Amino acid sequence: MPDGGNSGVKAGIGDDCSILRIPAGRELLVTTDYSLEGVHFRREWHAAEVAGHRCLTRGLSDIAAMGGEPIAAFLSLALPPKLPQRWVDGFMRGLLKLAGESKVELAGGDTAESPGGVLADIVVVGSVPKGKAVLRSGARPGDRIYVTGELGGAAAALDLLFSKERLDRDLFVRHFWPVARVGIGRSLRQKGIASSMIDISDGLSPDLAHICEQSGVGAEVREDAVPRARIGKAAREVGLRFALHGGDDYELLFTSSKPVPRKIAEVKVTEIGRVIRGRKMILLDAKGRRRALRPAGWEHFKR
């Protein structure tokens, strides 16, 4: 159950600032994420609703990764003068539908004329009980490493888009309609399960590297344990490189020394390795051979 019920937007759009109430005993979470046309989305690939949905998902996912409750979103939106109004309407429809489902109020932002392409910057404000935010810095040697859901689906779809394939949005759901794991993040925080947490927005390898860096630890990942997404009509399993390095999945990566349920809120949770001393990230193959796991992110897929 949400425990941020007392927070809320007291005054939204229409004044110099928006006014929010944060209940005593809670700390504030703030995250900002760009969604730029030609960088994070393309109008020929992503329908307006999809672009709006993905824009807000980026912010919600950061709140999820702290174990927080989202409260309000702020959208800075710059639009090219000749953009059809129906595109803007679609973008806002996609964003506001997700905001409604997530009980997040769009409480302000800015608008401007864009010198080129649609430029969106989403700010999401949330809260968490004082001192309870799940940080990237809490992983300890011996902790096990877990991920929610399956990985690589979003990046594998992107790869197909680059190959000029036309994709059915409903068969590539994790690319077009990603889901921020807000409820799962909150549950992991409330139950004190996660010692550290991050959302997989850049890719498993770079995001695990962030955990290692902030916690001062290393990691050992079992290649065959990494849950790979199935995509398309044939429900084909994605290649390992997409699961290891592909971004935009918005699953949660966390570490824990405690018993972890195999499912949380109907979503599979998979143990993929363990936290080790040192600073290295190691990949173990099925035969037990070890090689370095190097952070390679979304940029990997740019062409």
- Residues in touch with its own copies (CB under 8 A): 10-11, 14-22, 24, 27-34, 36-40, 61-63, 65-66, 68, 72, 74, 76, 78, 107-110, 112-117, 119, 121, 123, 125-126, 128, 130, 133, 135-137, 197-199, 214
Structure token digits, residue 39:
């960088």
How far from each other are the two terminal CA atoms of the chain, in whole angstroms?
A: 43
CA dist., res. 167 & res. 122, Å (int)? 26
Helix (H) or strand (E) holding 270: strand 267-276
Angle in degrees, 0-180, between the axes of helices 48-65 and 85-101, rounded to the nearest 10:
30
Nearest approach, Cβ of residue 131 and its own copies (Å): 9
Return the number of the residue (79 or 238) whose C-beta is nearest its own copies. Answer: 79
Side-chain-facing half-sphere of 24: CA atoms under 13 Å? 0
Q: Which is closer to its own copies, CB of 18 or CB of 102? A: 18
Cβ atoms within 10 Å, residue 289: 9
Minimum distance, C-beta of residue 210 to its own copies, in the bound complex (Å) = 9
Do residues 94 and 213 touch, judged by C-beta distance below 8 A?
no
Q: Which residue bears the tokens 């740019």?
A: 302
Closest to its own copies by CB, 199 vs 223, is 199
What is the nearest approach in angstroms of its own copies to the Cβ of residue 239?
Answer: 26
Query: Contact at 8 Å (CB) between 30 and 123?
Result: yes
- Compute the least distance from the CB of residue 285 to its own copies, in Å: 30
CB of 118 to its own copies, least distance (A): 10
User: Between 16 and 266, whose beta carbon lies closer to its own copies?
Assistant: 16
CA distance linking residue 91 with residue 56, whole number of Å: 11
Residue 34 vs 261, nearer CB to its own copies? 34
Q: How far is the CB of 114 from its own copies (least distance, A)?
A: 7
Considering beta carbons, is residue 5 or 263 the nearer one to its own copies?
5
Name the token pair of 152: 């690589």
Least separation in angstroms between residue 40's CB and its own copies is 7
**DSSP one-letter code for 152:** S
Distance CA 80, CA 114 (A): 5
| C-beta closer to its own copies: residue 285 or 299 | 299
* 182-190 vs 48-65: helix crossing angle, rounded to 10: 10
